[in-house]
Structure 1
Amino acid sequence: MSIFINKILCPAPQKKRMTVFNRLGLRYITMFLSFTTCIVIYTKTSPMLFSVKPENVNTESSCSCQSCVMDVGEDEWFAYRHNPTVPPLLNRKNSVLRRDVYKWWMALQHSSLKVNYTEIVDQLFTLFPDEDHYSDPGPDRCRTCAVVGNSGNLIGSRYGPLIDFHDVVIRINKGPTKGYEKDVGSKTTHRILYPESAVDLDNYTHLVLFPFKIQDMQWLISTFTTRHIRRTYMPVKPTINANEDKVMILHPGFIKHVYDSWLQKHGRYPSTGFITLIFALHICDEVNVFGFGASSGGAWHHYFDKTNTHFKAGPHGGDFENKTMHELLQRKKISIYKGFK
């Protein structure tokens, strides 16, 4: 290659008047061009060095995990549904509801009692943390989350250590851990529940209220103060053990967002399991799902009892929720551990 370049750059002189300086200059030019040619050839064949990135392409990841929920890329389906600006949790600052949100949420109520929503919010954040939770995303964060459902497919799964390895472990309603540690783990950082599914919590777990109705907020206040609410549409616990400094309330606007954008208005409102999954997509960088779906034999029941259930039952768009969850799996936004091969 250098000989070829020399022939081009150094044609035979007609007169022998080239000085030593000129000869040395051409020699250095030839060596430089030869070296540059080698670099170009090596760059094209080496996968490690001198890689050139296309201009105007943002290759920075939104977090430090291997795969990040917020890395949308060219995924228009996900970008259309996932709105990171919708606050998942209520605080005093974001508590004023849009008219359409308030109208939709109040239409879910079974009670005809007239209540002052603003007064209830004031009471809530006199008792519980008034914070902008989980507003710390960034390229250096990797928050791994396990969403643990209550499906019988967890029986014999031995997922316990894997579940407990996550930074955040979110459990749903009454799903117990005691006696099931090998399959479901023992760690709980968040438990999403409503009055009719309330259980006692340890001092380290966040109680995350899913307010289907405004009476659920009243119950939450009552259970830490007067303890007078003992019934909604069914008997409820008037008090539970929980750390009031770790209480959170899902935002009614977030519930409507999940219903409108993710469920495309199937059913009346989201199931607790589905809204927990979307909540995780908002606060986590990597989401792994356990305990959803049927058992290996096709039965739908809880791992802690044999009561038969079905994803199509109730006021939720269960079939559509199931399809959406598997679409998230196909798009590599979540991983699903089904408990059997």
Structure 2
Amino acid sequence: MFSFSDQSCHCEDGWFGKECSRALCDKYGCENGECVKPDQCKCVSGWSAENCTVDMLAENAEPLLDGLALRLRKPPAVIVHRGEQYYRDSWRMIRKWTAHLQAQWQFGRTRFTDGLPMNDTLIKYTSERFQTCAAVGNSGGLLRSRAGQVIDEHDVVLRFNNPPTKTFEEFTGSKTTFRLLNRKSADALLEAPAQAAQPKKKIRSDVTTLLWRAESYHYYGMLRRKFPDEPIYLLAPELLIPFITFYKTMMKRMEDMKITWEGSQSAPTGFVGIAFLLQICKHVDVYGFDVTKAKIPVRYHYFDKLEPTEEHSTEFEHNLLRVLDSFGLIRLCTVDTVERCIHDWDLGRNRIERRRLLSVRDGSLDFDVARNRSTYDMETR
């Protein structure tokens, strides 16, 4: 409202800002949402009530997960390989996973088999799991804390696609055990200039590259010929099909509870990577998975200024991770909770050191000093 007496604008009750375009929610507050009109809060997906303080996902974690299992019992394979017994039985699953591409190319069994490793080098970890693993996404929320050292202290670190860690080590860590590629990153690896395959430009051989998209099955042989000495593997359909089924079932259950989100929500590489870690790890911490609508504003990526599009919408994925966190399957370290994660990790590390010293003194050492792998039991979780 314009005041002629002092020649200035005065906002009506419940509005403020230079153009009086920002609403106030003083009556109830607006904890997990956006104040769109005076005392009217639009909740972030998964939250409800007048002030958006009711966590629908945490309250309904058990019914949402009822009858479902994301950590599989004795999966027959983790990666596709040509072990005689496995491959004879798995061809049908491979065809099922790639069925929607059959019109585009012929999927020859002999040609495909030639590029596969002889054995499944990861299957043993489904029964002898790593103690602590970190899945590190690419959210700008990583820049809000200095979790790099804690991330690197995990037994296994999984990263996604090809984000830089150099100069970001303080925030992201530098350790990488696995790298899971989406279709765009896998295509870029295949299309890289020929000199990229030379020894001085080769992929780091201490990092295992994992592919999962059906399209990757088509050109896997070409990648193996381009990088013959590098550990590049296809995640097995025996894992992927249950992962996608779980993802779609959870989406349907949330929809039935009237939980909504924006954008298309096909299964993302992030979820697949976390589900993979649950097969080989006892405890999984998840960093760098923040929604742009978090209470604390964050960039989409920590390493660039890219703005997310509908294609990149991650609201449902974030909801799903919140459910897994509430149920205790993972620990989700977002921009809002990462300091707690760091604090809890330090407590656990101190407890391990005390246990190690006591074990050394009484001769019952339960700490693998050579590999620096602990019996960390996450008692603080």
TM-score (norm 2): 0.56
Q: Deviations over 1:168-222 (max 9, x none)?
A: 0000012221111000001101001146314663121001112332xx2343322
Matches within 5 A, 1:224-243: 224-225=224-225, 227=226, 243=229
Matches within 5 A, 1:45-84: 77=65, 80-82=68-70, 83-84=72-73
Matching residue within 105, 115, 126 for 1:113: 105
Structure 1 residue 193 and structure 2 residue 181: aligned? Answer: yes
Partner Cα distance (1:183, 1:328) in 2: 24
Q: Is the 8 A contact 2:141 2:290 kept in 1?
A: yes
2:210 — aligned with what? 208
Q: CA deviation at 1:251?
A: 1.2
| Secondary structure, aligned partner of 2:285 | strand
Partner Cα distance (1:159, 1:247) in 2: 28
Q: CA deviation at 1:153?
A: 0.5
Q: Which letter maps to 1:322? A: H
Matching residue within 120, 130, 146 for 2:119: 130
Q: Which letter maps to 1:208? A: L
Unaligned runs of 5+ in 2: 1-61, 190-201, 252-263, 338-381
Distance 1:114 1:265, change over 3 A: farther
Q: Is the 8 A contact 2:136 2:158 kept in 1?
A: yes
Rg (Cα) greater in structure:
1
Q: Is the 8 A contact 2:178 2:209 kept in 1?
A: yes
Distance 1:147 1:220, change over 3 A: same
Q: Is the 8 A contact 2:142 2:172 kept in 1?
A: yes
1:255 — aligned with what? 240
Partner Cα distance (1:224, 1:137) in 2: 25
Partner Cα distance (1:277, 1:320) in 2: 15
| Secondary structure, aligned partner of 2:284 | strand
1:49 — aligned with what? none
Distance 1:260 1:206, change over 3 A: same
Q: Deviations over 1:46-74 (max 9, x none)?
A: xxxxxxxxxxxxxxxxxxxxxxxxxxxx9
TM-score (norm 1): 0.62
Q: Which letter maps to 1:258? A: F
Q: Is the 8 A contact 1:195 1:219 kept in 2?
A: no
2:81 — aligned with what? 91
Matching residue within 122, 147, 160 for 1:159: 147
Q: Is the 8 A contact 2:131 2:283 kept in 1?
A: yes
Q: Is the 8 A contact 1:299 1:308 kept in 2?
A: no
2:343 — aligned with what? none
1:168 — aligned with what? 156
Q: Is the 8 A contact 2:212 2:235 kept in 1?
A: yes
1:304 — aligned with what? 303
2:287 — aligned with what? 290
Q: CA deviation at 1:115?
A: 2.3
Partner Cα distance (1:307, 1:270) in 2: 21
Partner Cα distance (1:147, 1:78) in 2: 25
Q: Deviations over 1:2-28 (max 9, x none)?
A: xxxxxxxxxxxxxxxxxxxxxxxxxxx
Q: Which letter maps to 1:135? A: K
| Secondary structure, aligned partner of 2:158 | strand
Q: Which letter maps to 1:175? A: P
Q: Deviations over 1:252-299 (max 9, x none)?
A: 232221111233285785211110010011111110000001355445
Distance 1:110 1:102, change over 3 A: closer
Distance 1:156 1:76, change over 3 A: closer
Cα RMSD (Å): 3.1
Distance 1:91 1:99, change over 3 A: closer
Partner Cα distance (1:181, 1:143) in 2: 23
